[in-house]
Structures are given as structure tokens and as C-alpha cells.
Amino acid sequence: MPFTKAELKFIKQLQQKKYRKQYGAFVVEGWKSIRDFIKAGYKPQKIYTTLKPAGLQNIEPPEIVTPKQLKQLSFLQHPKDALAVFKIKHPGIIPDKGLILALDDLQDPGNLGTIIRTADWFGVRNIVCSQNTVDCYNPKVVQATMGALANVSVFYTDLHKFLTYIDLPVYGTFLSGENIYRCTLPEEAVILTGNEGNGIKDEIARLTTHRIHIPKDRGAIAESLNASIAAAIVLNEFYRRSK
């Protein structure tokens, strides 16, 4: 047996935030994502794989497992070719320059994962989250980032305090406000997105310096956009203006 019952229990525990915090570890599945984390300087504690990969240097050899054994370890309904346990990296000091994405109590793991992936695509390397935002090392978030989490720093802090003291304009996304396609967008700013159902909290909204919205077609019946879609549109527009 390439893994013990204790190892299996440990990996399964990493589905829960309290154990990820306790052990300082998280799980990544699939060789593509595992390689991305290794390239970004993350060191795997353990790798289990159904195939022996080439070109991995300075890491412990992976444990070769059968597809059935990998399914025991995996969090996925249809496991990929490998699973790795990595140490969580402390992101360091929250930046106060550049383009920063801020998230107010985002709850859906798929939304956060997609937002991290989109931020990486548009070169936004720092995301600041409220303490109640879903954990970026949640397996569903990690999976949705498709490896992009390795290239983006995610901070959890008192968002009110962060926005109070940062010396950057804060652009909040609302259902009403200045049309994003007509307003001036700077190269350095905080882009603020709220909770999927409730939007940006009032006490946080009061700290925005610019309220922006994404206009919709007059014939549209949708009341709002998905949080990750809205973030993608806003990030794209900031990126487009900077080029």
C-alpha cells in the first residue's frame, strides 16, 4: 500500500478549513496545476500519481498509486492523474500600490476560483479578502483556479481597516453608478466586489471613492451578473485602458 490509513485520514481532513489552518497544508490535484505550484516555489510534502512524470527536480519522488487508490485520496468525483499536498505560503505584507482586487464576503468557491484565475490572466497579482470570504485553499477554489493560485497572492484581513488606510482610489461595483465604459480608470486602484447575494456591505460601500456599474441591454431581464463574470468584465476594462 503506497499510503497508510493515517495519510488517508490526513488528506481527507484537508477538505476542512480548520485542519488546513491547523496543519498549514492544502491539496492540489492534476499534474498541470501541481507543476504550476512547484514552478512558483511551493514545495510538495507528498505527491501521489498514477503515472511517473519526467522532469521533476529537487523534490521527493512521488508515490505511484493505482487509479482506484487515487480515487480514495481524491476530492474529485473523477480524479485526475495526480494529487499533491503542499505547505501553505504566507503571502507577506499586503501591498499598497498597483491594481488590487478586494472581495467583500464572497462565499462561492467556484466564484473565488474563477476570479483568481481571471486576475492572473489580466496581471492582477494581489487579492485582498474580508475575513468571511471563502478560503482560497478550499479544494473547490484550488481546482477552479487551474493553477493560477500559484501566481496570485491572496490576503485575508479586516477589509474596512484596509480600505480606510490605503492611499488608492477604490472602485466599487454596484447595480447603479458611473458607466464603466465612460468613466476614467487609473492604472493603480482597488477594485471592490461584493457578496453574491447581498453585494457590498454598507459600511464597506461608504469607503468607495468611485461607484461603477456594468450597463445592461434595455431588453435584458437578468437583475444582476454572476460575481465572477462581473469581476472579469471590470478587470478586462482596467487592463484594456492600461494598454
Q: pLDDT digit of tens for each residue in the chain (243 aa)?
A: 687 899 999 999 999 999 999 999 999 999 999 999 999 999 899 999 998 776 666 677 889 999 999 999 999 999 989 999 999 998 899 999 999 999 999 999 999 999 999 999 999 999 999 999 999 999 999 999 999 999 999 999 999 999 999 999 999 999 899 999 999 999 999 999 999 989 999 999 999 999 999 999 999 999 889 999 999 999 999 999 987
Contact present, 75 and 29 (Cβ < 8 Å) = yes
Tell me, what amino acid is at 173? Answer: T
Contact present, 44 and 60 (Cβ < 8 Å) = yes
Name all domains of the chain by residue range, CATH numbers in brackets.
5-87 (3.30.1330.30), 99-242 (3.40.1280.10)
Residue with cell 480608470: 185
Q: Count of CB atoms within 10 A of residue 139's CB?
A: 21
Round to whole Å and give the CA distance between 44 and 26: 10
pLDDT score, position 54: 67
pLDDT score, position 153: 97
Closest to 20 measured CA to CA, from 106, 83, 85 = 85
Round to whole Å and give the CA distance between 37 and 200: 32
pLDDT score, position 55: 63
pLDDT score, position 192: 97
pTM above 0.85, yes or no: yes
Round to whole Å and give the CA distance between 73 and 63: 12
Contact present, 12 and 25 (Cβ < 8 Å) = no
pLDDT score, position 57: 64
Contact present, 33 and 142 (Cβ < 8 Å) = yes
Round to whole Å and give the CA distance between 193 and 219: 25
Round to whole Å and give the CA distance between 107 and 130: 11
Q: Distance of alpha carbon 203 from its chain centroid, rounded?
A: 24
